[in-house]
Structure 1
Amino acid sequence: MIRSVVFWLHLTVAVAAGLVILMLAATGAVLSLEETVTGLAERRYFVTVPQAADRLPADRLRPEGVALAAGLVATSLSYSSDPRAPVRVHEGQDLHALVDPYTGRVLARGPGGLERFFEGAHNWHRWFNVSGGSVRRARAVTGAVNVAFLFLLLTGPILWIPRPVTRRSLAQALLLRRGAKGAKRDFNWHQVVGIWSVLPLAVIAATGVATSYPAVGDRVYPTVGNVVPAGAWPAESASEGAGVEREEVEGDEVEGTAISGDARRAPDPDLRAALATAEAWAPEWRTLILHMPRPTDPEVRVEVRGGRAGQPHRAGRLTLDAATGSVRAWETFADDTPTRRAQQFLRYAHTGEYWGLPGQLLAGLFSLAAALMVWTGLSLAVRRLRRFVGLRRALRRSVRRPRAPPTSGTA
């Protein structure tokens, strides 16, 4: 009885939310490759490193410098640890240019077609690619679908685990069957893929629910934030080995956290010194993002990443004196509040980015598994509907068929 009730609930929710789940799974699989694909595409703009040549100083890439040729007002510069990689000159979040780090020549302007494709995939995955006031309603729908998907994953094992449990029945539930066709093939694929994927997909769905609904997140974040490891990056030995001393600024000693004090005005920010300090602070850095200061800003902010974009535990924020490039503050994942750590962890655990390239690829693989489960599940539902409709038609024909008159026998 219970199994029958669960089956019909599972089937009803799957039919109601299946197409949206399929869209989320397909776009999720595409987005899992975004950083890898765009990184490979950008390699065509790699340059030959001149002998005995240094990169252009950051101030040469400011609006009054070479970057003006790209028609941009630079708000940030993104440097890669690979000396062949171009510098990304950003204006806001959308516009950017790739610039030769040694000559200042503009190599490309963005966003390009590939980046617009991934941006469209993001918009579909988050809010059906709508705009304006419809975004909030669309996000509510995707959040509800995540809840529905989580319900399907929780009820699925009740239906997928065979009864009774024997060696043969378990083998059929855990292994793909060769030669199966039609409904038997669809059910076998649905069952096998579901059993092997249920736990990671439950994590993806649950983190999607937490990030979709602020009320849920407010209850989840304080608990999760106290569990997430908050180790500082880089390690203490790494920053000491870089030869950069945490110095006292106006009487306050910097020891890995932001300090207070009146900021000195820096009419001419020394961006070269700021970059040199950031490079030495974390020798294993992968990306440096220099936020361009105004001429009168007393500080320069540099984001230092030791991993990929979705690994906040391998990143930090340097605040540097604009005039001298000396360190004023160093903030890492460990310095964030538990709530902030939980927000970032759940955000990037949802996409697998928190665990780097292997995590992204696994998230993409399980997204494909979810798409296959939806496809086979809907196929089974359609087959069941066809059988039901065919049975009703057969019953109607049998009822309407005129009966032959009874024949009288002779004695």
Structure 2
Amino acid sequence: MSFRRIIFWTHLVVGVATGLVIFALAFTGVMLTYEAQIKAAFDPSVAPTADYTEMMSADDIMKIAQPAFPGETATLNFYSDASKPVSVSAGRHEAKLIDPYSGAFIEADSNPTEGFFGLMENIHRNLAMGFDSAGSQMVKISNVAFLFIILSGIYLWLPRKWKWSFIRQKIFFQKMPTAKARDFNWHHVFSFWVVIPLVAVVGSGAVLSYQWANNLVFAAAGLEAPQGRGQGKGMWAKSSGGGTSSLPAEQLVSFQSILDKAEGVESNWKTISIIVPASDQAKTVDVLIDTGNGKQGATQQTITYDRESGEVASVKGPDEMATPTQSLRRYIRFLHTGEVYGVIGQTLAGIASLACLFLVWTGFALAWRRLISPLFRPKAKPTLSMR
């Protein structure tokens, strides 16, 4: 058996064995493509009322937010969109919304999309069987298996004869005489046009699935791989620890004044996050200014303000805000969703997931015709020759 046939049969067997799980991952991947934007569209909005006509100061909101996550590094997030509530968060999924007019916490279940996206994420991560379950292991195995399917598929896609007539059938949809020929054409065309985003999405998924894969990537980058699951109380939410001021809290520069200064740093800011200080008399306060979607390290900077003078104590650009290991870990995490490249990246990841559905379907159809259909074909009866 030739090397190409060995690769082909391995590609086919692995695809059939993991196809249903891959289909589930691709389907939920499509559903989760614009999760952040859809959730934001259904987030509760805030506006002045007859009872609360003015927005509270950042200092008053800080007093409300400080007890929200005791003992954790939390951030108080203000948005350029004035209709969005202020949020206090400690990690990706731990956040509480505050109405900046009344100061009341907004119930978390007020977003009707929360349950749907929660279900999609559970299926995507562990087939809705729970953390560290058999479903979780199946997802991890299927991630690595799918990466093999893609890489072996690249090899099998290469035409044996580099002629335009052969190549055209593998990069453009053609009108085919049979269903088998159509599926063969679609399988190659879809894989050709999405191979780059697919490698990025599935490869990062494999790295997130297994520590050994994580180790390989970080070793290739010349870095020490982080061990274990990230505790994730905000990858950048870390106070610089400027100590405690000898001045009483009421003599320190207000958080509102610091927020006003931060708003003037970047005219196109989207989010300004104040790292909640552990003490009312903290000498400095760290403010993260984000002009992107919150997942792109290159769009963020941290400014440390001296609360005694109100002056800038230090500025950290994207390259200084995290170690190379932290930056790579963050990049891999949001490469999987495409969010590291903004809306364009999300869209490409979603298109790749959608194409996957067709790849699984056409792959199963081709495997059925090769392996199962022949079993049901009537065998030709031998003919008797007359002598």
- Which TM-score tier does this pair reach, normalised by the shorter chain? 0.7 to 0.9
Aligned pairs, number: 360
Question: Could you tell me how far apart the structure 2 residues matched to 1:161 and 1:327 are?
Answer: 57
Worse-superposed segment, 213-222 or 15-24: 213-222
- Match runs of 1:46-195 below 5 Å: 47=47, 55-62=55-62, 76-90=75-89, 93-97=93-97, 99=99, 101=100, 103-104=101-102, 108-111=106-109, 112-131=111-130, 134=132, 138-178=135-175, 182-195=179-192
| One-letter amino acid matched to 1:15 | V
| One-letter amino acid matched to 2:183 | D
| Partner SS for 1:45 | coil
Displacement of 1:149 after TM fit?
1.0
| Partner SS for 2:319 | helix
Question: Could you tell me how far apart the structure 2 residues matched to 1:146 and 1:205 are?
Answer: 6
Question: Could you tell me how far apart the structure 2 residues matched to 1:274 and 1:211 are?
Answer: 38
Q: Which residue of 2 aligns with 1:196?
A: 193
Displacement of 1:341 after TM fit?
1.5
Structure 1's 204 and 325: CA in aligned 2 closer, same or farther, altered over 3 A?
same
Displacement of 1:114 after TM fit?
0.5
| Partner SS for 1:288 | strand
| One-letter amino acid matched to 2:287 | V
Structure 1's 363 and 225: CA in aligned 2 closer, same or farther, altered over 3 A?
farther
| One-letter amino acid matched to 1:272 | Q
Displacement of 1:262 after TM fit?
4.6
Q: Which residue of 1 aligns with 2:274?
A: 290
Q: Which residue of 2 aligns with 1:242?
A: none
Structure 1's 49 and 325: CA in aligned 2 closer, same or farther, altered over 3 A?
farther
Verify the 8 A CA contact 1:77 1:88 in the aligned structure 2: yes
Q: Which residue of 2 aligns with 1:26?
A: 27
Displacement of 1:324 after TM fit?
5.3
Question: Could you tell me how far apart the structure 2 residues matched to 1:216 and 1:72 are?
Answer: 37
Verify the 8 A CA contact 2:244 2:281 in the aligned structure 1: no
Displacement of 1:388 after TM fit?
3.0
- Match runs of 1:262-301 below 5 Å: 262-264=243-245, 267=249, 270-296=254-280, 298=282, 299-301=284-286
Out of 340, 362, 366, which is 1:354 matched to?
340
| One-letter amino acid matched to 1:313 | A
Verify the 8 A CA contact 1:63 1:72 in the aligned structure 2: no
Question: Could you tell me how far apart the structure 2 residues matched to 1:14 and 1:198 are?
Answer: 16
For residues 21-51 of structure 1, give each alpha carbon's deviation from its aligned partner in whole angstroms, at most 9, with x where no partner exists.
1111122222221122122333x7264799x
| One-letter amino acid matched to 1:145 | S
Question: Could you tell me how far apart the structure 2 residues matched to 1:188 and 1:382 are?
Answer: 16
For residues 380-403 of structure 1, give each alpha carbon's deviation from its aligned partner in whole angstroms, at most 9, with x where no partner exists.
222333313214xx45x969xxx9
Displacement of 1:9 after TM fit?
0.6
Question: Could you tell me how far apart the structure 1 residues matched to 2:206 and 2:106 are?
Answer: 38
Query: Does 1:337 find its partner at 2:338?
Result: no
Out of 336, 340, 356, which is 1:370 matched to?
356
Q: Which residue of 2 aligns with 1:383?
A: 369
Question: Could you tell me how far apart the structure 1 residues matched to 2:42 and 2:222 are?
Answer: 36
Query: Does 1:313 find its partner at 2:311?
Result: no
Question: Could you tell me how far apart the structure 2 residues matched to 1:10 and 1:27 are?
Answer: 23
Query: Does 1:212 find its partner at 2:197?
Result: no
| Partner SS for 1:304 | strand
Displacement of 1:357 after TM fit?
0.8
Structure 1's 106 and 195: CA in aligned 2 closer, same or farther, altered over 3 A?
same
For residues 325-363 of structure 1, give each alpha carbon's deviation from its aligned partner in whole angstroms, at most 9, with x where no partner exists.
544443343012221221111222222111111111111
TM-score, scaled to structure 1:
0.74
| Partner SS for 1:316 | strand
For residues 225-254 of structure 1, give each alpha carbon's deviation from its aligned partner in whole angstroms, at most 9, with x where no partner exists.
88xxxxxxxxxxxxxxxxxxxxxxxxxxxx
Q: Which residue of 2 aligns with 1:241?
A: none
| Partner SS for 1:164 | coil
Verify the 8 A CA contact 1:76 1:90 in the aligned structure 2: yes
Displacement of 1:198 after TM fit?
1.7
| Partner SS for 1:351 | coil
- Structure 1 stretches lacking a partner, 5+ long: 227-257
Verify the 8 A CA contact 2:271 2:290 in the aligned structure 1: yes
Displacement of 1:166 after TM fit?
2.4
Question: Could you tell me how far apart the structure 2 residues matched to 1:218 and 1:292 are?
Answer: 34
Displacement of 1:90 after TM fit?
4.9
Displacement of 1:209 after TM fit?
2.0
Structure 1's 383 and 162: CA in aligned 2 closer, same or farther, altered over 3 A?
same
- Structure 2 stretches lacking a partner, 5+ long: 224-238
TM-score, scaled to structure 2:
0.79
Structure 1's 28 and 386: CA in aligned 2 closer, same or farther, altered over 3 A?
same
Identity of aligned residues (%): 29
Structure 1's 124 and 388: CA in aligned 2 closer, same or farther, altered over 3 A?
same
| Partner SS for 1:129 | coil
| One-letter amino acid matched to 2:315 | W
| Partner SS for 1:300 | strand
Question: Could you tell me how far apart the structure 2 residues matched to 1:293 and 1:34 are?
Answer: 31
For residues 109-134 of structure 1, give each alpha carbon's deviation from its aligned partner in whole angstroms, at most 9, with x where no partner exists.
224330232233223222333335x2
Question: Could you tell me how far apart the structure 1 residues matched to 2:114 and 2:273 are?
Answer: 19
Verify the 8 A CA contact 1:316 1:332 in the aligned structure 2: yes
Task: Let me know the Cα RMSD of the aligned residues.
Answer: 3.7
Displacement of 1:219 after TM fit?
3.4
